[in-house]
Amino acid sequence: MKKQPSVNPLPSLTKYIAQAGICSRRKAVQLIQDRSVLVNNNMVTEGGYRVKSTDKVVVKGEPISQPKKVYILLNKPKDYITTSADEKGRKIVTDLLTPHISERVYSVGRLDRSTTGVLFLTNDGELAQRLSHPRYKIPKVYHITLDASLTHQDFMAIKEGVRLYDGLVTVDYIEYMHKKCDVIIEIHSGKNRVIRRLFEHFGYQVKKLDRVQYAGLTKTGLTVGNWRFLTASEVHVLKNPNTLK
């Protein structure tokens, strides 16, 4: 069996500097090479140095620290993208958080522009990396509306697993809703546009795609475009991968 790569919980020095909001990771590399960074009063020239919680990091004579960790659940509307910035001027999900959130947060388990529903955002890089890792098989549930009724034959084929160009896609659960053009699917794959590609493989077009659950989080009580902070118990569950299986 192929050994899964380990996930180091300590951030690299370049990542630590970037997460502190000083600059990008690329510019952080340059700062380190320019000998502008001290760790515990010692010059560090390797960006890969792992920063411990007890370390004192100073950049250009100014001590830096990590921002407060925040965990946000958003009911994403259509026509918003999940990148942190967009050169084309399109609406981004973090626009919905300002001016209430000063911390810089990132989407975990991204949704494309046309997809709505549950989106988790955080500045906790360690947790984001864990939730994105295939090892943990984070469950996601989608409500899908198709342009035609899903035949029983195609339903069973999807249930058995479908091989797309980038590998086998298996679903954990699939069920018809009130109409056969509406289905619910639970899946743990993180492949790009996997739901849309799955149905396109059988000749269907996805008219609406709504994520109703991510890692056990639901949008219950959240209207479209609204958000809330996660509770302490919800954060605890996310940080314990065994509880998500």
Catalytic site residues? 112
The DSSP line for 168-217 is EE--SEEEE-SSTTEEEEEE----TTHHHHHHHTTT--EEEEEEEEETTE
Residue type, 108: V
Residue type, 190: G
Pairing of strands 206-214, 227-229: unpaired
Of residues 129, 142, 155, 114, the one with CA closest to residue 212: 142
Pairing of strands 227-229, 162-164: unpaired
Residue type, 236: H
Does residue 33 sit in helix, strand or coil?
Answer: helix
Q: Which two tokens stand for residue 240?
A: 């314990």
Radius of gyration, alpha carbons of the chain: 21
Beta strands across the sheet bearing 37-39: 42-43, 37-39, 57-59, 62-64
Q: Which two tokens stand for residue 239?
A: 């940080």
Summary count for the chain: helices (H), strands (E): 6, 15
User: For residue 142, what are the β-bridge partners?
Assistant: 185, 211
Looking up tokens 């699939």 gives 174
Q: Which two tokens stand for residue 109?
A: 């388990």
